[in-house]
Structure 1
Amino acid sequence: MNNPDLRPLYERDPAAYRAQLAEGNARQARKRVAADALIRDRDGRILLVDPTYKPAWDLPGGMAEANEPPLDALRRELVEELDLPLPAARMALVCVDWVAPHSPWDDSLMMIFNVGTLTADQTAALRITDAELAAFEFCTPEQAQKRLRPYVWARLSAAITAADTGTVAYLHNGHPAT
């Protein structure tokens, strides 16, 4: 005869097991996650945005909300900020950058998805639809390097190489992980 007390907790007391999991989940670390877009025009220039809340230009995209998949966050941000609806099937992950804690921020995972080249109609339809942006512009890689913070340029540069070679870059603080 089996002793019921020897059964695993998930069998003996499913409610207690769920409570145990919830307690463990509450104590586990959380990471900030952002998803940005590598978007090019027909001339191969890269779309950059000028946020009103920070001093340098950036890639379109932004932070994921709680429990929001990164790709969904990117699609939401593109619509909210530039009125640019795009299907998920068009977007391919090309870069993941783990960013160490800095200043007031904990560590984070920063992702770049390759959106590809916009059509002339899509480019012409771009417009700022959120007060978080002051401007947007398609830039050559040289112009982008001058406008972006060095670590954002390092991430974008790796993403461009990955997009062009059909790979995915995995970085730590903008540098290939070793």
Structure 2
Amino acid sequence: MRRTSPDPADTAAWNAYLAEGNAKQARKRVAADVLLRDLAGRVLLVNPTYKPGWDLPGGMAEANEPPEETVVRELLEELGLKITLCGLLVVDWVAPHGPWDDQIAFVFDGGTLSQDQTDRLRPRDEELAEAVFVEPDEACALLGERIRRRYTAAMTALTNGRPLYLRDGVPTP
């Protein structure tokens, strides 16, 4: 990229520089999921209709949407749940796979749902066939390899009280 004027008053040159970078630099696909528990400590899994296997609740970010807003929006649309996130658990850089380019996947802590929230929980749109609470160990058996690694890291981060960075599902030193 070409150099720009160091003069901050030269807004046009700076905007041109940013536009050039925006046109040439890679863009990342962003996914955002949430770890939610019930009062018994079970975790919420969903069964999407558009892909095989169980998953954590969440989904793909829309254009220019922050990941934390993505997961809050997806929960409201798909499950009718309105939650306040408790923090970040995992950031996972996912290598290109199949026809997909690389992506950044986030897992947030959604805390523990009230009994009223769990009693009213059901899929609200055509993207989910089921939503169930399962024992944490049972979740590992139901989740596919990629999401299982992310889920396991999220549980570790929850226990240790600090987020983890993963590279394709593997914690980095």
> Does 2:120 align with 1:160?
no
Q: Partners in 2 of 1:177 and 1:94 — Cα distance? A: 14
Q: CA deviation at 1:11?
A: 5.7
Do the aligned residues in 1 keep the contact of 2:5 with 2:13 (CA within 8 Å)?
no
Alignment-mate amino acid for residue 139 of structure 1: V
> Does 2:129 align with 1:134?
yes
> Does 2:55 align with 1:55?
no
Q: 1:1-150 maps to which residues of 2 (within 5 A)?
A: 8=5, 10=7, 13-87=10-84, 90-150=85-145
Task: List per-residue Cα deviations over 1:27-76 (Å, max 9, x = no partner).
Answer: 11000111101001111111000000001110000111111000000000
Q: CA deviation at 1:107?
A: 0.6
Q: Partners in 2 of 1:116 and 1:54 — Cα distance? A: 26
Q: CA deviation at 1:77?
A: 0.2
Q: Partners in 2 of 1:60 and 1:47 — Cα distance? A: 7
Do the aligned residues in 1 keep the contact of 2:78 with 2:123 (CA within 8 Å)?
yes
Structure 1: runs of 5+ lacking an equivalent = 1-6
Task: List per-residue Cα deviations over 1:141-164 (Å, max 9, x = no partner).
Answer: 232112110121111011011112
Cα distance 1:8–1:144, how it changes in 2: closer, same or farther (>3 A)? same
Do the aligned residues in 2 keep the contact of 1:9 with 1:16 (CA within 8 Å)?
no
Alignment-mate amino acid for residue 69 of structure 2: D
Q: CA deviation at 1:129?
A: 0.9
Q: Partners in 2 of 1:117 and 1:20 — Cα distance? A: 46
Cα distance 1:13–1:55, how it changes in 2: closer, same or farther (>3 A)? same
Do the aligned residues in 1 keep the contact of 2:44 with 2:134 (CA within 8 Å)?
yes
- Three-state SS of the structure 1 residue aligned to 2:30 is strand
- Who wins on radius of gyration, i.e. which is larger? 1
Q: Partners in 1 of 2:156 and 2:150 — Cα distance? A: 10
Task: List per-residue Cα deviations over 1:99-119 (Å, max 9, x = no partner).
Answer: 101110111111100111111
Do the aligned residues in 1 keep the contact of 2:36 with 2:110 (CA within 8 Å)?
yes
Name the counterpart of 1:3.
none
Q: Higher helix proportion, which one? A: 1
CA-based RMSD of the aligned residues comes to 1.7
- Three-state SS of the structure 1 residue aligned to 2:97 is coil
Identity of aligned residues (%): 54
* Residues paired across the two proteins, number: 170
- Three-state SS of the structure 1 residue aligned to 2:34 is strand
